[in-house]
Amino acid sequence: MEHDADILIVGGGLNGPALGLALAQGGLRVAVIDARPAPQRAEAGFDGRAYALAIASKRLLAAIGVWGALDGKVQPILKIKASDGRPGQGPAPFFLTFDAGELEEGPMGYMVEDRHLYAAFLEAMRSAPGLELISGETVVAQDGAPQGVTVTLASGRVLRGRVLVGCDGRASGVAERAGIKRQGWGYGQTALVTAVRHERNHEGTAHQYFMPSGPLAILPLPGGHHSSIVWSEADAAAAAIQALDDAGYLEALRPRFGDFLGEISLAGARFTYPLNLTLAEAFVRPGLALVGDAAHGVHPIAGQGLNLGFRDVGALAEVLILAARRGEEIGALDVLQRYERWRRFDSTALALGMDSVNRLFSNDNPILRAGRDLGLGIVNALPGLRRGFMRQAAGLQGELPKLLAGQAI
300 binds ligand FAD (CB under 6 A): yes
| Identity of the residue, 184 or 377, whose beta carbon is nearer to ligand FAD in the bound complex | 184
293 binds ligand FAD (CB under 6 A): yes
Question: Measured between alpha carbons, how far is 121 from 124 in angstroms, rounded to an integer?
Answer: 5
CB 347 within 8 A of CB 312: yes
The least distance separating ligand FAD from the CB of residue 293, rounded to whole angstroms, comes to 4
| Contact partners, residue 231, CB within 8 Å, separation at least 6 | 191, 192, 193, 194, 214, 216, 217, 253, 256
273 binds ligand FAD (CB under 6 A): yes
Number of residues counted as binding ligand FAD (CB under 6 A): 33
| Identity of the residue, 204 or 305, whose beta carbon is nearer to ligand FAD in the bound complex | 305
- Out of 16, 20, 26, 258, the residue judged to bind ligand FAD by CB under 6 A: 16
169 binds ligand FAD (CB under 6 A): yes
CB 111 within 8 A of CB 77: yes
164 binds ligand FAD (CB under 6 A): no
Give the range of 233-241, 287-295, 326-334, 353-361 binding ligand FAD by CB under 6 A: 287-295
| Identity of the residue, 109 or 148, whose beta carbon is nearer to ligand FAD in the bound complex | 109
The least distance separating ligand FAD from the CB of residue 73, rounded to whole angstroms, comes to 16
121 CA to centre of own chain:
15
List the interface residues with ligand FAD, window 176-205 (CB under 6 A): 191, 193
With CB atoms as reference, the residue minimizing the distance to ligand FAD is: 13
118 binds ligand FAD (CB under 6 A): no
The least distance separating ligand FAD from the CB of residue 310, rounded to whole angstroms, comes to 8
36 binds ligand FAD (CB under 6 A): yes
33 binds ligand FAD (CB under 6 A): yes
20 binds ligand FAD (CB under 6 A): no
- Out of 26, 148, 292, 395, the residue judged to bind ligand FAD by CB under 6 A: 292
Question: Measured between alpha carbons, how far is 260 from 202 in angstroms, rounded to an integer?
Answer: 9
The order of strands in the sheet holding 7-10 is 131-135, 30-34, 7-10, 163-166, 288-290, 284-285
Among residues 356, 350, 221, 234, the alpha carbon closest in space to that of 298 is found at: 350
Question: Measured between alpha carbons, how far is 370 from 102 in angstroms, rounded to an integer?
Answer: 28
Instruction: Give the DSSP per-residue string, 384-407.
Output: HHHHHHHHHHTT-SSS--GGGTT-
- Out of 9, 10, 31, 284, the residue judged to bind ligand FAD by CB under 6 A: 10
| Identity of the residue, 16 or 161, whose beta carbon is nearer to ligand FAD in the bound complex | 16
Among residues 233, 238, 191, 190, the alpha carbon closest in space to that of 211 is found at: 233
Question: Measured between alpha carbons, how far is 60 from 58 in angstroms, rounded to an integer?
Answer: 5
66 binds ligand FAD (CB under 6 A): no
For β-strands 284-285 and 271-280, DSSP reports them as: unpaired
173 binds ligand FAD (CB under 6 A): yes
303 binds ligand FAD (CB under 6 A): yes
Helix, strand and coil percent figures for the chain, each rounded to 5: 40, 30, 30
- Out of 11, 107, 148, 161, the residue judged to bind ligand FAD by CB under 6 A: 11
For β-strands 79-86 and 131-135, DSSP reports them as: unpaired
List the interface residues with ligand FAD, window 336-395 (CB under 6 A): none
305 binds ligand FAD (CB under 6 A): yes
35 binds ligand FAD (CB under 6 A): yes
Q: Would you call 348 helix, strand, or coil by DSSP?
A: helix
Count CB neighbours of 242 within 10 A.
16
- Out of 70, 117, 175, 230, the residue judged to bind ligand FAD by CB under 6 A: 230
Longest CA–CA span in the chain (Å) reads 66
CB 297 within 8 A of CB 277: yes
**Contacts to ligand FAD by CB under 6 A:** 10-16, 33-36, 51-52, 138-139, 167-169, 173, 191, 193, 230, 273, 292-294, 300, 303-307, 309
